[in-house]
Chains A and B, each alone.
Chain A
Amino acid sequence: MNRSRWERMQEVLQQALSLPAEDREAFLERECAEDEALRSEVRSMLDTPDPSFLEHPELEEAEIVERSPDLAPGTRVGDFELVRVLGRGGAGVVYLAQQRPLDRLVAVKILAQGLGPSDQRISRFAVEAIAAAKLRHANVVRVLSAGEADGCRYIAMEFIDGCDLDTALSATRRREADAPLPLFEQPVYVTRVVEIVRDVASALDYAHRNGILHRDVKPQNILLDRDGKPYVGDFGLAKDLLAETISVSGQILGTPYYMSPEQAQAKSVEVDRRSDVFSLGAVLYEALTLRRPFEGDSIHRVLASICSSEPTSVRKLNARVHRDLDTICVKALEKRRSLRFESAGQLARELQRFLDREPLTIRRTLPPVRLARKYLQYRMPMTSFLLVMLTFVGVEFTSQVSHARNTEASVLAVEKQAALAKDDEARRRVRSAAVGLKAPNLNADQLARIDALLAEIDSVAWHLAAEGDREYAGALTRRGDERDEYLDRARQLWWRASRLAPDDEDLRLGASRSLLPRVSFSSNEAGLVVSYRRVDRSTGDLLPEQDLGVTPLEPVEMPRGYYRLLARSSQGGMAEISLHVDQRAQEYSVLFQVRATQVTEGMALIGGSTCRVRDGARRERVVEVDPFWIDEAEVSIADYGEFLAETGYPPPAYWLRHSPSYFKGLLDPSAERDSEMVALWGEYPMSGVTLDEARAYAAWRGKRLPTAAEWLLAAGGPRSRGLPWKNDWHSLARWLADKLSWACGEDESFRRQHAVLRLGSTRIEKGARRHVLSAKSVRDPGYVQTAGRNGLRLFHVLGNVKEWTDTVYVSQRDGEVVPESGAFVVLGGGWDSPINLGAGPYTVDCLERKLAGAPNFSVGFRCAKSL
């Protein structure tokens, strides 16, 4: 049957079915006069199908497979004499039992029997015992012993005489007179519930800090003793973070109503302490409202609801709940873990703050609508403000203002500066200066002018905030990479906005939603002036420098992106660090090590200039490059070995794994060093390092990696993209021949064995693949040698190894130029570079894309340094 036949049949059948049974035959006669086959087919389908056909079956209670019978009272299991059943958990039945020699009451959990042996369940049982036995906390049910006796595996636990929170809540729902909790309507009810959840939160926090996740936080697992003190029990699904994981990835562990979105999506690899926070948030919500936050008439829907719907506000369901508690619930139940409380401990502390009637330290998540509305109220003439694009001299300006004696001069200075402010940072400074100026000695006119200025800056802030909201809302409907992209833009807009109007509460609250990663700084000396340059995501260019402050510095929130951080000492020392802030972590730490003396030995000074740069999106741009130092030669194996020996930095894993055994001793500080090997190979270029390893080396040297523009400028000069031979491949052939004899001139056997370079073929032959040219003994005729400019001599631009740069690789995707995640630009030629003489010039800007974490023996690096 094909589609058109199907549609035709549908049509006839639909109409026939809509007719009374007796009219159908006549209709078919008429409709299918030409098509006897269709008529008989449709006719055969007109018999009324069984009404239950294709109805979803309703399944009854009776159909459930019965569990194994409970053990009778009086049964002996080891030391324990069972008294009665206390409850049933996922992995077994819990009995009240008398422990004979000690004559005390304990709770004994016995692994369910009768389901046939399952290694997995047994090992989970064992893990539970081991995990829980480590925990000693006033609010955790203590595990007394575990073992196997009389054919049963058991765990003996402290017996909590009371009931679980689920039972207590049910009693409250039914308004039972002797319910364990106060009456729902009484104000003390909320306090009581918060105390319970706070204690549970601190118990979970304790477990988490001991590497144990509960994974199944729910009211049934929170026991209340006669005094109402809560105990967290049944680490039945606890997974010891340190022990080998036993759960097969993708299994759903836990009770659906309290599952976190990441658990509901069966992403067990991603479950972490914040998943327990979510579940506890669901418990708090239920206790405060007597309703579960996520309901559904089937498990599908409960889970779908957990993943996709926002629970009704707690305050709507129970008006007695304070706004702060609502805030806490919302934060605990955030779908994205990064927005939740970062730990159960934080949740416990906020709950305690609530009990102490102190203001919370977390911020309320605002709906985007509210902010958009506020923005509309603020709509003011900002175009003029945005259009002014002139140079800014911020630091001088601030001092200018503070020193001005004449207030009118100050006001004028601020206004002038506002007109000149071309970027956010400048505006921020204008704003703080203007706020600082609002002193009593200003006259009404001056005050009005200052207010107008502030309003203008604030309106820019609100404009940014509204844009951020739009991005944020847009991001929610997107997926994966694309969403990150949008969220990131939203974050940056929020960040900029909150910096423009730092004392605006609503902006601050709104920005808190984006929860930027925090970067903390440490340094080998105090008093360093720290600044940063952001890397433009679409070009990889460095944006203008912005101040951060003087060490010791408080941690700074920074939006995702690539940065170059700079620290300068008053003695002229400087440290530069490349930092990639992304979503993989919330905290970053940066260590500045400023060296007293400038190390510029073996470096060439390149004057500032413009440079033509081509990127992965095949755009050619002219980039302004500030003057810089760059290593004349690539970093050698001996250099890198020195770094490892001095710092204890781990040797490159890739190197150790993939290089020949006789090489490993060169770098592994723990291995005995063969001086002959070092002499022979130490001067060859270091390769097989990740970008981070290269950066670590550079930082140790007080240097950094060059940007692509810097590298190209140093290698090719401002005007020429190529080497001196330009398009003349005969010259290239001569040069290659020279290179070969340089490389092997003194070692004829080596040349015969390995370095057979066949002109006209494309690569240096097998066997010479590692390092044909030594780093220091052979010098490429860099353009400078012939051009002679600056007296600059850069070695191995084309030879040896290709080189890492600290420039993000951007490429074109769906018409948009975007940075590729984790990919960086590699430049120059290396031993494995295909040199296709027929295809035209071999130039230095043969840009390649390499992933920062994927080292290669054909990629090495050299360092650079700002002035």
Chain B
Amino acid sequence: MTQGQSAADPLVATLYRSLKRIAAGKLGPGSARKSLQVTDLVHEAYLRLDWGDGLEGELDQRRFLAAASKAMRSVLVDKARARSSLKRQQPGQRVALDDVLDRFSENAVDLLALEEALERLEDVDEPMARAVELRFFAGLATPEIAEVLGVPRRTLERRWAATRAWLYKQVR
């Protein structure tokens, strides 16, 4: 982790709580509570966002989502790595984002194995690696992913099923 990252941890914790309050009661009807649970993660991811150059004001939503999901992936995988090394040294110790990490790990079988598989997938099928990021790490639905990647929805659905099956085999 970078220096800036570690310095940010207490801030993230602080923001986490204030956002939690928003999630708990201040959002109007129709707002999605569930996403706000991951504020901590989101904020960490933010610190890693690669904004590209010379941005002021206008920002392409598609690029934004792609960058954000990539950043989420990097945060979670780093956390998972940190946890696995910590667990070896101090069993039972909890780390930041542990609960969030647990939930992601449940759905990924093993985050570190998934990362390894994703890296291989990137070599042969970059768009599908992006699709995994958008779906699993950022929680986008298929039509949105299709839009971000600029591929037809049906194609994406078919490739997603096959890619998911392949990844499942890799991480199991």
Contact = CB atoms under 8 A, between A and B. Distances in A.
Given A49-B164, A299-B36, A55 B21 contact: no
A50 B114 CA distance: 14
A89 B22 CA distance: 11
B26 A61 contact: no
Nearest to B49: A266
Contacts of B56: 261-262, 270, 335-337
A748 to B, nearest CB: 57
Interface string B1-45: 000100110110111111111111010100111111111001100
Contacts of B132: 54
Interface string B152-172: 000000110111111111000
Interface stretch (A246-254, A610-618, A706-714): A246-254
A166 interface: yes
Given A1-B124, A49-B164, A120-B7, A297 B136 contact: no
Contacts of A60: 34, 37
Nearest to A63: B99
Interface residues of A, number: 76
Bin chain B's interface residue count: 35 or more
Nearest to B60: A308
A371 interface: no
Given A265-B51, A335-B57, A479-B54, A248 B165 contact: no
A557 interface: no
Nearest to A52: B107
A481 B158 CA distance: 41
Contact of B100 (A59, A255, A304): A59
Contacts of A256: 19
B35 A299 contact: yes
A309 B61 contact: yes
Contacts of A399: none
B43 to A, nearest CB: 6
A44 interface: yes
Contact of A57 (B24, B106, B120): B106
Contact of B139 (A9, A261, A298, A305): A298
A54 B168 CA distance: 9
B10 A118 contact: yes
The SS class assigned to the B binding surface is: helix
Contact of B47 (A1, A251, A308): A251
Interface string B120-145: 10001100000010011111100000
B34 A58 contact: yes
A308 B55 CA distance: 11
Given A45-B168, A298-B36, A480 B58 contact: no
A21 to B, nearest CB: 13
A88 interface: yes
B34 A2 contact: no
Given A13-B166, A308-B59, A255 B161 contact: no
Contacts of B54: 479-481, 483
Contacts of A342: none
B162 A10 contact: yes
Contacts of A3: 124-125
A752 interface: no
B82 interface: no
Given A59-B103, A298-B36, A304 B14 contact: no
A702 to B, nearest CB: 40
B149 interface: no
A266 B46 contact: yes
B53 A479 contact: yes
Contacts of B31: 295, 297
Nearest to B11: A251
Interface in B60-112: 60-61, 64-65, 68, 99-100, 103-104, 106-109
Contacts of B23: 61
A250 B47 contact: yes
B22 A255 contact: yes
Interface in A559-608: none
A121 B166 contact: no
A90 interface: yes
A10 B46 CA distance: 34
A17 interface: yes
B107 A54 contact: yes
Contact of A64 (B37, B47, B108, B124): B37
B103 A14 contact: no
Contacts of A13: 162, 165-166
A223 B136 CA distance: 41
A84 B49 CA distance: 41
Contacts of B139: 56, 298
A299 B26 contact: no
Nearest to B38: A59
B135 A54 contact: yes
A546 B13 CA distance: 60
A135 interface: no
B18 A480 contact: no
A621 interface: no
A307 interface: yes
Given A55-B107, A479-B54, A299 B64 contact: no
Given A44-B169, A121-B14, A304-B65, A248 B136 contact: no
Contacts of A270: 56
Given A261-B56, A308-B61, A17 B162 contact: yes
Contact of B168 (A53, A57, A265): A53
Nearest to B59: A307
Interface string A163-200: 00010001001000000000000000000000000000
Contacts of B15: 90, 252
A120 to B, nearest CB: 6
Given A45-B168, A308-B61, A266 B47 contact: yes
A115 interface: yes
Contact of A248 (B7, B106, B158): B7
A253 B23 CA distance: 18
Interface string A101-137: 0000000000010011010110000000000000000
B37 A299 contact: no
A476 B58 contact: yes
6 contacts: A55-B135, A55-B136, A90-B17, A252-B43, A266-B49, A308-B60
Interface of A: 1-3, 5-6, 9-10, 13-14, 17-18, 44-47, 49-50, 52-61, 63-65, 67, 88-91, 112, 115-116, 118, 120-121, 166, 170, 173, 248-253, 255-256, 261-262, 265-266, 270, 295, 297-300, 303-305, 307-309, 335-337, 476, 479-481, 483
Closest 5 CB pairs of A and B: A480-B54, A56-B139, A335-B57, A59-B37, A298-B35
Given A55-B135, A299-B36, 11 more contacts: A13-B162, A50-B168, A52-B106, A53-B167, A56-B107, A58-B103, A63-B103, A88-B21, A248-B4, A337-B56, A480-B53
